[in-house]
Structure 1
Amino acid sequence: MLTELRIKNLGILDQIELELGPGLNILSGETGAGKSMIIQAVNLLLGGRGSEELIRTGSAEAEIEARFWVPPTSVGTAGGLDQGIADDEELLLRRVVNRSGRSRAYINGQAVTLKFLTSLGRELLSLSGQHEYQVLLAPENHLPILDAYGGLGDQVAQFRSGYQNWQQLKREREQILAKQQELQANRELLAFQLQELEQAQVAPQEDELLTQERERARHAAQLWEETHTSYDRLYAGKTALLGTLSEIRDSINFLARIDPAWQPRLKELENIRYQLEDLALALRDYLPAVRFEPGRLAELENRLALLERLKRKYGPSLADVLAYQDRARREVEQLDDFDTQLQGLNEQLATTVQELQRQALELSQQRQAAAQRLTHAVEQEIHSLAMPQAQFIVHFQKGPGAGLDLPELQGQIGAQWLTATGADQVEFYLAPNPGEAPKPLARIASGGELSRLVLGLKNILAQETGVETMVFDEVDAGIGGAVAQVVGQKLHHLAAKHQIICITHLPQIACFGNHHFRVEKQVQEGRTVTTVKKLNAADRLQEIARMLGGATVTETTLAHAQELLAISQPGSDS
């Protein structure tokens, strides 16, 4: 229950405080006094859009604070305990909006997200005003209303999750098909290129190695001649250097035996001899390498020419050629894998669609049952609101509820019927008077009939959702006289189980209130301010009389006001 509402610097509201009670709370006052700003404040608590225009001139920010008493059985509403909100029987919701449109939200003094404040606020309080009437007129909102009444939120959420998974699978299949189509167009070229590269059997750095070999082949005779001559002079010839060096070694060895000073020189000579022997062996081993078979140079030229062609096509380097070969191989293999992937995806899609079809049919059957209950409940409500022969219909426009069997949905159900909420599309129809064909709500001209339908639906949905506090604005639109009295009785009746806050211009409704507040606009020190006063019995009589007769209260209007109060609630506490 909303026990206190504080509003600061919102529009013409400087600073007001309302201490609300259980039952029916009435707010009345002249047009333009600021009643709509009170509704705007409630709307901001429910996540309404904040803007600079809402903030009182000369103020930096507006602030709305609402104190709720929550029964012990309801503490922890909207996951509050999960958010670290204290487990109290009192909840203080607060929102601050600055001129940039940004806002801060708090619950029991703890900063929270606006989304969480909105979620909690909507579980504690329901607002019915011009916006809600427009919501009711829009057919796309009728299915969520039916689902809320039928308690189908979990089933719809489960279906939506499956539907989103189905959409993701379809996107994956489309991506694979697009990639497959793109690669398929190049498949013959890829296959040719891969065959060309695999037949070439290119090795890393092969071009560098073959270029070096080609240089040796081009100068093979000269290389052989120089190598052979060097080997002969160094080791194999009659006057070979190593033979002469051996003789010199023997002489130095003799010197070293007699004069030890020559020992280091002997070692140096030994090292030189070993190095020359290594060089001789290298020359001997190199000789076969410079003996080329006839035609080898031509082979090298042809191979290098092939590698150059491949580098021009796939290069510029041989490493790039090899990388291209790997990519081509992967793409060809990927094309082969696409069929397997598509088969798996198609199987998943078929299974998913089949399950969605089953869920959609089950959900539709539950909706049809809920629609029958809702039709009966709404007709009871509007019959009691001076529309005794009105007919309310939940019209299934398409889907299983419109008579389409599940087998008929096979194959094309995904494209033609399934949406994120199932396979149904519903719209509310109303026939206010006997002999009239039911019409969509948007085609109903009477605002009074729409007001009563909203009141009836709010009453029904409140029983299903457990919302404790309901705020009504413009519930008296398009009605008056006896119908207004019936609406007042309905609100009074509803207030026995819920806290009702109602803004009204009609005395036939106001007289049923358990608590009555007058909203007035005054000018103080050159500024317009709004005040809210809770009326005692005498003040209330005057206010009802004013609502009956205007600015001038007469004995007649006072008597009429007294009569209205007497017949409405003789046991009232106000």
Structure 2
Amino acid sequence: MLRQLNIENLAVVRRQQVRFGPGLTIVTGETGAGKSLVVDALALVVGGRATSDIIRAGETRAAVEALFDCPDHPEVRRILAEAELEAEDTLLIRREVALNGKGRLFINDQLCPVATVRALRPFLVDIHGQGDQQTLIFPAAHAGVLDAFGQHVELATATAEAFAAWHAAQQARERFEQEALHRRQRRDLLEFQRGDIERVAPADGEDEHLCRERTRLLHAERLLAAAAAGYDLLYEREASALTLVAQALRQVEDLAAADPALSEVLSTLEAARYGIEEAAFALRDYAETVVVSPERLREVESRLDDLDRLKRKYGGTLEQVLATLARIQAELAQVENDDAEQQRLAAAVEAAAARYRECALALRAARQAAAPRFEQALEHELPFLALPQARLVVAFDWRDAGAVATWESTGLEGVEFLFTSNPGEPPRPLSRVASGGELSRLMLAVKSILAPTDIPRTMVFDEVDVGISGRVAEAVGIRLRRLAERQQVLCITHQAQVARFGTTHLRVEKTVRHERTHTEIVALDMDARVEELARLLGGAVVTESARQAAREMLAPEGFVGAPTSQANC
């Protein structure tokens, strides 16, 4: 139950504190005074959309704070535990919105994500805003109403999830079949390309090695002659470099014995002798490896031509050619595995379809069982709302469970409410025959039979009396009062016939002070209630006869429990 609502800098409200008690709280006021601000503030604090344009002009932030009794419910305890909050007797929720659009939300002074309070909202508040009754004219919403009444929303959700899984499995199979067809169409080309590359059998880096070999073969005779000449000059001939260095070394050895200063020169000559000898032997060994072979040159050039052809067709380098071969081999392997994968995907589709049929058939049975109970519950409610002869029938559009083309996420049947308010007239689609006033009362009846008795939450009705007046409005007021015996009810109304049944009466007043508009919410005592009901009855000029009528309406006779003021602002 809502205990208190604090509003700061929201639209035209500067700062306001409103306390609430049990029973039916009525909110009235002139058109444009800002009655819906109470609903807007409550919706904001329980996770509604927040934008910077709700902030009062000239201020930097807006804030709404609501104090609720904490429902003793396992799901509430679970939500609080996941948010690392302790379950206390009350929940203090504060929502702040800044000019830059950013905001913060606190639960019992602990910063929390908005998702937490949105999860708590069904256990705290049920807001029926202006125009919500229009949802009844859309048959697509009727299944959800019936599921909520039958308390099988989880089954409806499971059906929707099973449908989504089946649809996803269908799409996966269709995508795979298209890809498999494309692969089958490409198979001949892929096999040709694989054979073309495999016949050449290139090795990574082979072209670079062959290019170096071709260069040696092209210059083999010159290389051989140069190596032989170098070997001869360094080692072989009588006056070779090695012989001359050896002679110089002997001369320096004799001198170094007399003058140690030549020891460094001696070391240099010794190193030169070993270096010349090593270079000479290297040239000799190299000459032995040089092959003059026109036949090998032709083989190398032919191999390079083959490799260049592959590079032109399958990539600029042999590395790319080999990568193309690997991709082709993988795609061909996939073609070979397509049958097995297709069978697996078909099995997945069938399993998902079986799951959907299971859920949808269970949902069908639940809806069939709930429909007569729903009709009976409404039949009991409608006379209280001045619709004694009205009847609402749940009509089903059955679909074949085996015809997958007719499957929908909402189940295997369409649900539509048929309505008649005139005896002897057959029920017809609600969207075609119900008036605005009838829709308002039907929505109130639906909300009444959907209201859980195990969760004492706050039910909010924003102008549920649209399109009605007189005796019908009084019937709505009586029903709201009776509903308030089980739930805390907050109702915004323009009808005195509804307002008279409030256990608490709040009036929203708009004033202009210092060239600024201010909206205030005032709790009315009995005298003030008389004046407010007289205004609702008589208009701008309140007459004594209107006051007398208001006093008679507020007298305890005619409804259970005399209204008393329980709000302090």
Bin the TM-score by the shorter chain: 0.7 to 0.9
Taking the aligned partners of 1:273 and 1:560, their CA distance within structure 2 comes to 132
Whether the 8 Å contact between 2:63 and 2:94 is mirrored in structure 1 is: yes
The equivalent position to 1:554 in structure 2, one of 544, 550, 566, is: 544
Taking the aligned partners of 1:264 and 1:452, their CA distance within structure 2 comes to 119
Whether the 8 Å contact between 1:2 and 1:67 is mirrored in structure 2 is: yes
Whether the 8 Å contact between 1:77 and 1:120 is mirrored in structure 2 is: no
**Is the alpha carbon distance of 1:283 and 1:30 closer, same or farther for their aligned partners in structure 2, counting shifts above 3 Å?**
closer
**In the alignment, which residue of structure 1 is the partner of 2:459?**
470
The offset of 1:451, in angstroms, is 1.3
1:493 aligns with 2:486: no
Whether the 8 Å contact between 1:28 and 1:517 is mirrored in structure 2 is: yes
1:437 aligns with 2:426: yes
**In the alignment, which residue of structure 2 is the partner of 1:214?**
214
**SS of residue in 2 equivalent to 1:567:** coil
Q: Number of residue pairs matched?
A: 562
**In the alignment, which residue of structure 2 is the partner of 1:305?**
305
The offset of 1:155, in angstroms, is 2.5
- Give the aligned CA root-mean-square deviation in angstroms: 3.8
The offset of 1:22, in angstroms, is 0.8
**SS of residue in 2 equivalent to 1:332:** helix
Residue identity opposite 1:328 in structure 2:
I
1:146 aligns with 2:146: yes
**In the alignment, which residue of structure 1 is the partner of 2:521?**
532
Map 1:270-349; keep pairs closer than 5 Å.
Answer: 282=282, 285-286=285-286, 289-292=289-292, 295-349=295-349
Taking the aligned partners of 2:371 and 2:226, their CA distance within structure 1 comes to 107
The offset of 1:92, in angstroms, is 1.8
The offset of 1:200, in angstroms, is 0.7
Cα shift readout 1:378-419 (whole Å, capped 9, x = no counterpart): 22211332222222122333xxxx1x343x33xxx1x54132
**Is the alpha carbon distance of 1:464 and 1:281 closer, same or farther for their aligned partners in structure 2, counting shifts above 3 Å?**
farther
Taking the aligned partners of 1:13 and 1:542, their CA distance within structure 2 comes to 24
**Is the alpha carbon distance of 1:435 and 1:98 closer, same or farther for their aligned partners in structure 2, counting shifts above 3 Å?**
farther
Residue identity opposite 2:192 in structure 1:
F
Of 430-439 and 288-297, the range deviating more from structure 2? 288-297
**In the alignment, which residue of structure 2 is the partner of 1:566?**
556
Map 1:494-513; keep pairs closer than 5 Å.
Answer: 494-513=483-502
The offset of 1:359, in angstroms, is 1.7
Normalised TM-score (structure 1): 0.84
**Is the alpha carbon distance of 1:113 and 1:242 closer, same or farther for their aligned partners in structure 2, counting shifts above 3 Å?**
closer
Taking the aligned partners of 1:250 and 1:547, their CA distance within structure 2 comes to 132
Taking the aligned partners of 1:445 and 1:108, their CA distance within structure 2 comes to 45
Of 529-538 and 283-292, the range deviating more from structure 2? 283-292
**In the alignment, which residue of structure 2 is the partner of 1:118?**
118
Whether the 8 Å contact between 1:430 and 1:440 is mirrored in structure 2 is: yes
The equivalent position to 2:505 in structure 1, one of 487, 495, 516, is: 516
Residue identity opposite 2:336 in structure 1:
D
Residue identity opposite 2:462 in structure 1:
D
Residue identity opposite 1:152 in structure 2:
H
Map 1:399-410; keep pairs closer than 5 Å.
Answer: 402=398, 404-406=399-401, 408-409=402-403
Cα shift readout 1:330-365 (whole Å, capped 9, x = no counterpart): 333333344433332222222222222222222222
Map 1:171-186; keep pairs closer than 5 Å.
Answer: 171-186=171-186
Of 387-396 and 53-62, the range deviating more from structure 2? 53-62
Residue identity opposite 1:552 in structure 2:
V
Whether the 8 Å contact between 2:249 and 2:269 is mirrored in structure 1 is: no
The offset of 1:278, in angstroms, is 5.4
1:460 aligns with 2:449: yes
Taking the aligned partners of 1:294 and 1:130, their CA distance within structure 2 comes to 98
Whether the 8 Å contact between 1:25 and 1:513 is mirrored in structure 2 is: yes
**SS of residue in 2 equivalent to 1:188:** helix
**In the alignment, which residue of structure 2 is the partner of 1:136?**
136
**Any unmatched runs of 5+ in structure 1?**
none
Taking the aligned partners of 1:523 and 1:275, their CA distance within structure 2 comes to 109
Map 1:201-280; keep pairs closer than 5 Å.
Answer: 201-224=201-224
**Is the alpha carbon distance of 1:292 and 1:334 closer, same or farther for their aligned partners in structure 2, counting shifts above 3 Å?**
farther
Cα shift readout 1:299-352 (whole Å, capped 9, x = no counterpart): 222122222222222342333333333333333333334443333222222222
**Is the alpha carbon distance of 1:221 and 1:167 closer, same or farther for their aligned partners in structure 2, counting shifts above 3 Å?**
same
**SS of residue in 2 equivalent to 1:130:** coil
Taking the aligned partners of 2:37 and 2:274, their CA distance within structure 1 comes to 109
The offset of 1:265, in angstroms, is 10
Normalised TM-score (structure 2): 0.85
The offset of 1:71, in angstroms, is 4.9
Of 154-163 and 483-492, the range deviating more from structure 2? 154-163
Taking the aligned partners of 1:225 and 1:89, their CA distance within structure 2 comes to 105
Residue identity opposite 2:543 in structure 1:
V
1:38 aligns with 2:35: no
The offset of 1:296, in angstroms, is 2.4
1:355 aligns with 2:345: no
Whether the 8 Å contact between 1:125 and 1:467 is mirrored in structure 2 is: no
**Any unmatched runs of 5+ in structure 2?**
565-569
**SS of residue in 2 equivalent to 1:80:** helix
Whether the 8 Å contact between 1:375 and 1:394 is mirrored in structure 2 is: yes
Whether the 8 Å contact between 1:10 and 1:62 is mirrored in structure 2 is: yes
**Is the alpha carbon distance of 1:15 and 1:213 closer, same or farther for their aligned partners in structure 2, counting shifts above 3 Å?**
closer
**SS of residue in 1 equivalent to 2:557:** helix
**Is the alpha carbon distance of 1:466 and 1:442 closer, same or farther for their aligned partners in structure 2, counting shifts above 3 Å?**
farther
The offset of 1:555, in angstroms, is 4.7
Residue identity opposite 1:482 in structure 2:
R
**Is the alpha carbon distance of 1:36 and 1:223 closer, same or farther for their aligned partners in structure 2, counting shifts above 3 Å?**
closer
**In the alignment, which residue of structure 1 is the partner of 2:567?**
none
Whether the 8 Å contact between 2:235 and 2:243 is mirrored in structure 1 is: no
Taking the aligned partners of 1:359 and 1:481, their CA distance within structure 2 comes to 47
Taking the aligned partners of 1:248 and 1:263, their CA distance within structure 2 comes to 16
Taking the aligned partners of 1:81 and 1:295, their CA distance within structure 2 comes to 85
The offset of 1:570, in angstroms, is 6.1
**In the alignment, which residue of structure 1 is the partner of 2:10?**
10
The offset of 1:185, in angstroms, is 4.5
**Is the alpha carbon distance of 1:119 and 1:218 closer, same or farther for their aligned partners in structure 2, counting shifts above 3 Å?**
closer
**Is the alpha carbon distance of 1:163 and 1:473 closer, same or farther for their aligned partners in structure 2, counting shifts above 3 Å?**
same
**In the alignment, which residue of structure 2 is the partner of 1:479?**
468
Taking the aligned partners of 1:72 and 1:538, their CA distance within structure 2 comes to 38
**SS of residue in 2 equivalent to 1:384:** helix
Whether the 8 Å contact between 1:75 and 1:89 is mirrored in structure 2 is: no
Whether the 8 Å contact between 2:97 and 2:103 is mirrored in structure 1 is: yes
The offset of 1:14, in angstroms, is 3.4
Taking the aligned partners of 1:52 and 1:275, their CA distance within structure 2 comes to 88
Taking the aligned partners of 2:47 and 2:505, their CA distance within structure 1 comes to 27
Residue identity opposite 1:562 in structure 2:
E
Taking the aligned partners of 1:206 and 1:221, their CA distance within structure 2 comes to 24
Taking the aligned partners of 1:499 and 1:130, their CA distance within structure 2 comes to 19
Taking the aligned partners of 2:101 and 2:35, their CA distance within structure 1 comes to 22
Whether the 8 Å contact between 2:6 and 2:17 is mirrored in structure 1 is: yes
